[in-house]
Amino acid sequence: MKLYNLKYRNEKVSFLQAVKMGLGKRQGLFFPINLPLIKENRLKEMLEMDFLTRSVKILSMFIGDEIKLTELEKYVRNAFSFPGPMIIPVTNNISCCELFHGPTLAFKDFGARFMAQILSHLNKKNNITTILTATSGDTGAAVAHAFYKAKNVRVIILYPHGKISKLQEALFCTLGKNITTIAIQGSFDECQELVKKAFHDNQLKKATGLNSANSINISRLLAQICYYFEAYALINRNNQKKLVISIPCGNFGNLTAGLIAKSMGLPIKSFIASTNINDTVPRFLKTGKWEPNNCVSTISNAMDISRPNNWPRVEELFFRNKWKLNDLGFGSVSDDVTKNTLCELKQLGYISEPHAAVAYRLLKDQIQPDEYGLFLGTAHSAKFKNIVDDILQENIKLPIELEKPSKFPLLSYYMKPDFNKLKEFLLFKS
Ligand SMILES: *Cc1c(COP(=O)(O)O)cnc(C)c1O
């Protein structure tokens, strides 16, 4: 597969190069020059396959002969070694598509674990790779677990001290071995700034074999296409024809993957781009003006992003397929409405969490009588236990994935947001 840089289309790379580089020149995103198309009868066959077999087929359409099929099969099996999507009915025409049954209880496990497999494929020559990434919560855990004990890979995760939940922190700061976590005495923005500086430091890049694992990496995106096909295959045939999917959006990677699935031929009727009050995209879709505000903290914190990285890919998909941006559903939801919606969902017999609740609200408000709706469940409610317990007067039981680490000591280092300190640490300490 050839990809080009959306900002600088003369820059063309292979799939493996794109995974290694992350971003192209001028921070441009890579995107496949041609997207594979699945014919109708072939689609029928594929929908009858099991999740893993079908996922290998889908990914091989992109990766081609860059990775041998037998190897790719092994990587997909290693990456998706946990329960795939599950469809849980909530009303007569709305279900939650739960994507959080992986080791870190968030949908990010699909992308992070596949990326880990591809990087270890690239890294057969025993060079040390350093994965440096900043997290506001869920990415850190997914990346840490995906690379835990991987050969020749060390992972350094920066996070804002005191600004992520205790359970989120326990999930990736208690692992040790090749996973190093640094609590930065500053904000998430300052963590991200340190990572950017590191990537601009050529000496550091060479000496440590620096790579990033953030969500703009094409391997994470491609892995996510697979669960849209599975969700479609799992729902009843009558509902397939009028399927609307509402997605809780932050960096818009999840929506991008859904749109790629549709452009390959998966007949999803429409999507709803759901956000919290960090609503750059809903305002853009309404007014045509791109005007990011300062980021505001909400209870759906993984969506607290006002400059969504993946938006150029969404526009590219609309442009290429001659779809109209007008057909993309959208909306934003305040914290108060999110809280009420969590209560409404509880009355329907479904305990959810703030991100999925945002997606449910907009779906419920916008769905037409003849449509069938899925809202994506991106994280397990226990990850947001404090807030969910408080709103719903519940006492959510911690699944084993969270209970175990919550008893282990934190192994994090503490650091001021000082690039020279970080550089010294990366070169000499870990
Ligand atoms: C990362 C995340 C999102 C946002 O997904 P994007 O692909 O960045 O739009 C939504 N919900 C949860 C729980 C997340 O961790």
Residue 257, domain member (yes or no)? yes
Residue 249, domain member (yes or no)? yes
Residue 313, domain member (yes or no)? yes
pLDDT score of 422 more than 70: yes
pLDDT classification of 218: cutoffs 50, 70, 90: very high
Q: Which two tokens stand for residue 339?
A: 């809280």
For residue 255, the one-letter residue type is L
pLDDT, position 302: 87
d(CA 238, CA 240): 6
Does ligand 1 lie within 6 Å of residue 215's CB atom?
yes
pLDDT (tens digit, 9 = 90+) per residue, 256-294? 999 999 999 999 999 999 999 999 999 999 999 999 998
Q: Which two tokens stand for residue 329?
A: 């559903």
pLDDT score of 136 more than 80: no
Q: Which are the contacts of 296, defined by CB distance < 8 A and separation ≥ 6? A: 277, 278, 304, 306
Q: Which atom of ligand 1 is nearest to the CA of 253?
A: 7
Mean local confidence (pLDDT), 20-27: 85
Ligand 1 pocket test: pick from 29, 107, 216 the residue with the most ligand atoms within 8 Å of its Cβ: 107
Residue 292, domain member (yes or no)? yes
Mean local confidence (pLDDT), 377-400: 95
Residue 339, domain member (yes or no)? yes
Range name among 159-168, 172-181, 416-425 with the lowest pLDDT average: 159-168
pLDDT (tens digit, 9 = 90+) per residue, 318-359? 999 999 999 999 999 999 999 999 999 999 999 999 999 999
Total domains present in the chain = 1
Q: Which of 414, 384, 350, 313 lies closest to 166 in space, CA to CA?
A: 384
pLDDT classification of 197: cutoffs 50, 70, 90: confident
- Residue closest via CA to ligand 1's atom 14 equals 302
Residue 275, domain member (yes or no)? yes
Does ligand 1 lie within 6 Å of residue 243's CB atom?
no
Does ligand 1 lie within 6 Å of residue 106's CB atom?
yes
Residue 225 is part of a domain; what is its CATH number? 3.40.50.1100
pLDDT, position 126: 66
For residue 316, the one-letter residue type is E
Q: Which atom of ligand 1 is nearest to the CA of 383?
A: 13
pLDDT classification of 430: cutoffs 50, 70, 90: low
pLDDT score of 24 more than 90: no
Residue 124, domain member (yes or no)? no
Quote the mean pLDDT of the chain.
94
pLDDT score of 212 more than 80: no
Give the range of the structural domain holding residue 388, as residue numbers without chain letter: 83-107+219-397
pLDDT score of 296 more than 90: no
Residue 384, domain member (yes or no)? yes
The DSSP output letter for 379 is B
Does ligand 1 lie within 6 Å of residue 250's CB atom?
yes
Does ligand 1 lie within 6 Å of residue 275's CB atom?
no
Does ligand 1 lie within 6 Å of residue 303's CB atom?
yes
pLDDT score of 385 more than 70: yes
Q: Are 50 and 331 contacting, i.e. CB atoms less than 8 angstroms apart? A: no
pLDDT (tens digit, 9 = 90+) per residue, 32-52? 999 999 999 999 999 999 999
Does ligand 1 lie within 6 Å of residue 353's CB atom?
no
Does the predicted TM-score (pTM) go above 0.85?
A: yes
d(CA 99, CA 107): 5
Q: How far is CA 21 from CA 52, 100, 145, 203, 422, in A?
A: 27, 28, 22, 16, 22
Q: Which atom of ligand 1 is nearest to the CA of 257?
A: 7
pLDDT classification of 199: cutoffs 50, 70, 90: confident
Q: Per mean pLDDT, which of 18-27, 75-84, 186-195 is the most reliable?
A: 75-84
Ligand 1 pocket test: pick from 135, 139, 353, 355 the residue with the most ligand atoms within 8 Å of its Cβ: 355
